[in-house]
Structure formats: C-alpha cells, structure tokens
A and B are shown apart, each in its own frame.
Chain A
Amino acid sequence: MAQIGYAALLLTLIAGVYSAVIVVWGRQRRSAEMIESGKRGMVAAAVLCSISVLSLLYLVLTNDFRYQYVYETTSTFQPLAYHISALWQGQSGSILFWLWTLSLLSLFFILLKRNAIQPEFPYEIAILAALEAFFALLLLAAANPFAPAVEAYTEGFGGNPLLENPGMIYHPPTVLIGYAATAIPFAAIMGRLLAGMTADAAWLRNLRPWVLLSWLLLGVGILLGAQWAYVELGWGGYWAWDPVENASLIPWLINTAFLHALIMQERRGMFKLWNAILASATFLLCIFATWVTRGGAVRSVHAFGASSVGDFFLGGLIVLTIFSVWVIVTHRKQLKSDFEIQALGSREAAFLYTTLLFVAAAGLVLLGTVFPALSEAITGQQIAWGAESFDQITRILTPFLLVLLGVCPILGWRRTEGSKLLQSLLIPIAVALIAAAGVILLSGGPTYAALAFGLVSFVAVTILAEFYEGWRLRLRKGEGPLRALLHLITYSHRRYGGYLVHLGVLLMVIGITGQSLYQTSQQVALNRGESVTVGSYKLQYVDSGTEDSAAKRRFHASLQVYRNGQPQFSLEPERNYHYNVEQWVTEIALRSNLAEDLYVMLLGLEDNGLATFEILINPLISWLWLGGVVVLLGTVLAVLPLGRRSASPAV
C-alpha cells in the first residue's frame, strides 16, 4: 500500500512537470491539443494525489507501524477521529495534504474555465502544475510520508496529547486549504500578465470568489487555532503573538488588503499594480509562514532546527519571489491605473487607506516576528518584542480600522460633499458618544474601552443605516417588508454580504476588547471544603481524586460554583500526566455565556488534597467566536450566486 502511495507521488511529480512544459510549449506552437493535454495532466495529478493521500490514510487507520510516520502520529489506543487527523498532524502528512488540496482546487479552477478559454489559460495551468511538481519533489526528497520505520515498533508514539483535542481535527486542515487556495489568484493574475492582457471587470468578478475562499478559510482556520489554544493550552488567552501564530496571520492581513484593492480594480480600474503585488505577496507569505514553522528560520520556542524541508521552502520562496517580481516588472505597462484618486474624502481614497492599513499591520507583525534576528544583525544585540508590544500596536491601529469601517459606506465616489457627510455622520457620532459615556459610567473602565466601544457603536449604526436605507427604498416600491429585506440581501448579496462580514468583525472587536481590558484573575490554594470568591462567583473546592489509565494518570478536582448564594453548576478541572511524552497537560474547566467566561485551571494537587487553582473571568470573549461565525455567514452570502443582478451596482 505504501508503495502505491509513493509511486503515486512520483507520478504526480512527473504529471506536474509534463503539464507545465506541454502547455507553455503548446502556447508557443498555438496548439490547442497540447494545451488540452496539459489540462488532462492536471486531472491525472489530482487523481494521483488522491491515491497517495488515501494510501497514507489507510496506513494510518490500520496502525501500520512499519512506516515512521504512522509510528510518530498514531497509537492503537487513539480514538478514531485522531487516527484520521494523524493524516495532517505530522510534517510530511501535512505537506501531502497541502499538495492534495492544491491539486483539487487547481483542477476545479481549470474545469470551471471550460467554456471560456482565454489567453492566460496555459500560463495558469503551467504555474499551478509547477507548484504541484515542487511540492511532490519536496515530499519525495525531504519529507517522505511513506518512509520505512527506523526500528521495529510494536506500538505507536500516539502523537502529542496536546493535539488530542477537536481543534486538531478542524484547525490544521482549514489553514492548509486556505494556504493552498492562495495559489489560485496568484496563478490567475500572473497568468493574465504573462498573456499580455489586462484584467477587465468581468474577469475580476470571477476571480473574487477564489480570493474570498482563501481569505475565509485562512481567517477561520486562524480563529479555530485561537479557540483551540484557549480551551486546550490553559493559560487563559487565545493569542500569544508567537512567531508561528504570526506567520499565519501575516498572509491573512495581506489577503484582506488584496480583497479590498480588488474591489477597486473591478469598479474603477485602479490598484492594478497593488493587486499584482498583493496577490503574489499573499501566496508567497504562505510559503514563508510554512518555512518559519518548519524550517527554524526565526528564533523562537518553536524553532525546530533547520531541516532540509526548511531549505526546500526557502529555495521555493526565493525562486517564486524572483519570478513574481520579474513578471510584474516586465509587464508593468498592463498595470497602469485607469483612474486617479480625486479627493481625500472619496470612497476610492478610503479603500486606499484600508489597503495601507492592512499592509502596515502585516508589515508590523512581520517586523516584530523577525526583530530578534534583525536587531542582532544590525546592532549585535538581540531584542525581542513581547506579546504586549503587539497588543499595543493592535490597540493603536484598531481605532483607524473602525473609523474606516464606519465612514466608508457614507463616502461618495470621486468625492464627498461636506454637508452630506456631516448629515450622515450626525446620528452615528451621537450614538458613539452615548455609548462611550455609558462605558465609563457603567464600568469606570479605561478610556480606551470607551474609545473602542464608542467607535464600534459608530460603525454599527452606519452599517445598519445602510440596511435600513436599502430596505426602505424597496418598501417604497411597494414590496412587502419581509420580501424587501430578502430581496435586498440576495440581489445585492456581495454588498450586503460584505456589510454582514463587517458586523461580524465588530462583534470580534467587542470580544477582543472585553477580554483584554476587563479580565480578572486570581490564583489560590485551597483545602477541601474551602472556597474563594472571584467576580460574582463563589467557588467551593469539594473533592479531588486520581485515576490511572493506559495513556495517562489523571488528577482532578471538583468545584461547586455559587452565584447569589445559589448553587449553579460544578466544574472539574484536571491536570494529567501523559506517559508517552512524559509531561503534564492541563485540562481546563470552562463555563461560557454571552456576558463572560468562567475559566478554571487546576495548577497542582498535593497528596494531602491541597489544590491550587487559577480562576479567570474573561468578559465578552464569546463575542469573538460568534463574530467569527457571522463573518463566515457574511462571506458565504457574498460568494453564493443568488438571484439576479440588481440595478444598483454591487460593491
């Protein structure tokens, strides 16, 4: 079975190289048959990748310890779901998964173009085929998932217990598919340039769903990772600004900039050069992110030492960067703007500010991540940005983001009339001031909280006003209220999907701000029967115990939680010792509602029953996850082909 998987991988390499060569040659010779052959090569590559992945899945599910990968990621007592997730848990498995996803997405992209073969088609195939060949080569040469085991193993290592969490099932594949999907806009834009063409509105409209796909998957993947960290790692937070985390965030930020600049190119023929650069940067930064995570590039607790996998990614990154720069520079004539920004207060200008903001944010996260290496190279002294450094930068940039979110729908194309602007801003600003005052009065909270929540209210009002205005217009035309709302959303679904996404972002900002500014925590050591009061909760330590199993020794304590003197619920945090990795793993106890999370960790359990707890109250954090769901829904709404095109132009 492993031989089949390995052979399929080898054939994928051959298919990729073949397709890339034959389509370029076919383009030169103007031979439709050759290009068609290249297309079939891509079909073959997708099928072969699938065979390879299925082989690995088979090995993993049958616990075939003759292969090193299976030994490292599975064990006989591992639950089925984690057997499956073993497919993407290890180094080589995850790269194979990435390759497989890339082959499927590329195939889908190519097949969808069946009826509209355009000049860039051979170049798009060539680029995607070359990328697939690259990944196949990397796997064969440096990360073979079918490599034989180093010893004769009878039991698997079982993977890390920290990874036995539902998060392992949905976070890595989502991020990996997001990474793979960034290759499509890259290939499309580079292909279009190589074909000597410029991108028209219809072409860009067709590209947008692919950009949204990678944006959504990568964004949701990152959020899932944060949620996983929150419930699994047990330190009360969800984002530590670790280099590995940052590495995935940077391409997502650039992708957000790209998404918005793309809208401008579609509507006004502007930002063409920006988009060529941003499309390439998004894709290249995903490769960079992988290099950082696997290759030991940046000094961090996650530097796993330079390996040849890292060298491959670095080599690929350099080659692809040179390629992108070369294509853009030699075809820059096709990237001239059709339109210039006319006024600082115009919608076009606002999109420019948005693009700059996200690029700046990405740049800053990148700078902070490489700062130790950079500062050492320049001054000889390594200086590291802490999590607080990044948090501070986020706090500085967030108000700008919120202002742009709120003001942009109000701004006019070309320029905005001062009086109109003021009129539209009156109510939102008034609401914002009331909200800000409310925050100060109700919580006595920091000024920043008033600023943040005030601006959030401001944006919420302007977005809801957009819904209201559009709805009212339809009512005037005689439509019934429910129908009007439905038609509004479905006919202009890209615009209202976008607004819904922005509302989701607002919810996330509320969650992030609440948790970061209003968190309370307490650490306490209790004997059985004793209790502690944190916030509005009284927690009483009732009992504790230990149990042994094949995988671990379990230490747990139970707490009865009271509110207003009434018993509400019980919590049972654990601290377990896993034998295979010889380490402790904390399992937190969590109780969530919309207002706050009660988060309890068992830090230690002594023989005499003395238990140490850390108790956290995280206000509003659920809004972060809810906001993510709203963003997801909004994106789906924006992407789905619904209804007929409306008279008013979609954004």
Chain B
Amino acid sequence: MSAPEVNPLEKSRSPRIKLFIALAVVALAVGYLIVSSVRETSAYYMTINELQAAGPAVQNKKLRVAGTLVENSAQWNPQKLMLNFTLTDKGNQQLPVSYKGARPDMFKDGTEVIVEGTYTNGDFQASNLLLKCPSKYQDATTSQAQK
C-alpha cells in the first residue's frame, strides 16, 4: 500500500502562512517599540514667530528652532559654562537662548543655528546646538550633545 500523496501545493502553503504570521507579529511588536521611542525623542520644528505665538501651549514639548546668530549677542561664562545668545530669522523676531555646555566651534555672527530644547517664559533653554558648517558639502557637524 503506498502512502497517500500529499498535495505539494498544500504542503508549501503551510510554512508560508506560518512565516507571514510570525513576521507580522514580530514587525508589530518591534514597530510598537519604535513608535513609542520616536514619540518620546522627536522634536517639533517651529519658527521663532510660531514659537512666540504659541507661548505656554508648547511649554513641555521638545522643540527645534532655526535662526541666525544676532551680531555680538553671544556671551560665554567660562565659570558657569553658560552660553547665552540671541537668534533671529526672516521675520526679524528675536529669541533669547541659553545653553549650558561647551561653546561650539563654528559659532560666529550670522551663523545658522538650530537649537533643540524647551521654551519657557520667553526664554529658550537649549540642550543641543546644531550648526551649519560653511564648507561646500563635507559633513562637519558640531552637535554638542548634553547628556
């Protein structure tokens, strides 16, 4: 008596479905982890205008604001390691920023700066500074991450 023949199509379908299900489960689990991490660590881009208009509404949010360094506004206190400066953008609004940490290299008047941090009472506390490097296309970030 020969064994009943297994339909080859039937046999190959089973591992395939199992595979899809297993991968889908893993993808959903990992996806969930990733989405929640990103939610916690991402920042809203705002212009200075939008920031000042929003005011208290964005109190505890992580924000990023871009602007150019106002001439002669940078003050560096070496004892306290505090850097204070003012940013401005096309709208000519001014944003005072304070940053505790290392004074970055390419920090001169007119430099484009992106500050990342929080905004309270009209003052921006930056935890991170991202500066535009002036060279043609080479990567030369000086982002000074504050732990």
Residue of B whose beta carbon sits closest to that of A356: B23
How far is B132's CA from A368's CA once the two chains are assembled, in angstroms?
19
Chain A 332-373 per-residue mask, 1 if CB under 8 angstroms from chain B, else 0: 000000001111100001001100100010001000100110
Determine whether the beta carbon of A229 is less than 8 Å from that of B136.
no
How far is B35's CA from A392's CA once the two chains are assembled, in angstroms?
10
Question: Does A148 sit within 8 A of B, measured CB to CB?
Answer: no
Residue of B whose beta carbon sits closest to that of A389: B41
How far is B147's CA from A400's CA once the two chains are assembled, in angstroms?
27
Q: Which of A229, A237, A396, A606 contacts B30 (CB 8 A)?
A: A396
Interface size of B as a range: 35 or more
Chain B 104-141 per-residue mask, 1 if CB under 8 angstroms from chain A, else 0: 01111000101010000000000010111111111111
Contact flag A225-B81 (CB < 8 Å), given A235-B145, A386-B116: no
Determine whether the beta carbon of A584 is less than 8 Å from that of B106.
yes
Determine whether the beta carbon of B78 is less than 8 Å from that of A302.
no
Chain A residue numbers with a CB within 8 Å of B90 are none
Determine whether the beta carbon of B108 is less than 8 Å from that of A582.
yes
How far is B40's CA from A518's CA once the two chains are assembled, in angstroms?
22
Determine whether the beta carbon of A302 is less than 8 Å from that of B101.
no
Residue of A whose beta carbon sits closest to that of B130: A301
Contact segment of A55-63, A116-124, A376-384, A528-536 = A376-384
How far is B135's CA from A172's CA once the two chains are assembled, in angstroms?
14
How far is B134's CA from A628's CA once the two chains are assembled, in angstroms?
30
Contact flag A603-B102 (CB < 8 Å), given A301-B112, A612-B78: yes
Nearest-CB distance from A639 to chain B (Å)? 29
Chain B residue numbers with a CB within 8 Å of A293 are 137, 139
Contact flag A301-B131 (CB < 8 Å), given A163-B138, A385-B38: yes
On chain A, the number of residues with a Cβ less than 8 Å from chain B's Cβ atoms is: 72
Contact flag A583-B108 (CB < 8 Å), given A89-B138, A340-B15: yes
How far is B139's CA from A94's CA once the two chains are assembled, in angstroms?
14
How far is B30's CA from A393's CA once the two chains are assembled, in angstroms?
9
Chain A residue numbers with a CB within 8 Å of B101 are 523
Question: Does B57 sit within 8 A of A, measured CB to CB?
Answer: no
How far is B128's CA from A463's CA once the two chains are assembled, in angstroms?
41
Nearest-CB distance from B25 to chain A (Å)? 12
Chain B residue numbers with a CB within 8 Å of A584 are 105-107
Residue of B whose beta carbon sits closest to that of A346: B15
Determine whether the beta carbon of B141 is less than 8 Å from that of A233.
yes
Contact flag A162-B140 (CB < 8 Å), given A356-B23, A386-B128: yes
Q: Which of A234, A242, A304, A385 contacts B136 (CB 8 A)?
A: A304
Nearest-CB distance from A143 to chain B (Å)? 11
Question: Does A26 sit within 8 A of B, measured CB to CB?
Answer: no
How far is B140's CA from A372's CA once the two chains are assembled, in angstroms?
21
How far is B79's CA from A584's CA once the two chains are assembled, in angstroms?
20
Chain A residue numbers with a CB within 8 Å of B45 are 372, 376, 381-384
Question: Does A91 sit within 8 A of B, measured CB to CB?
Answer: yes
Partner-A contacts on B (CB < 8 A): 12, 15-16, 18-19, 22-23, 27, 30, 33-34, 37-38, 41-45, 62, 64, 76, 78-79, 81, 101-103, 105-108, 112, 114, 116, 128, 130-145, 147
13 contacting pairs across A/B (C-beta < 8 A)? A163-B135, A233-B140, A235-B145, A236-B145, A302-B139, A302-B141, A342-B15, A353-B23, A583-B106, A586-B105, A603-B78, A603-B81, A606-B78
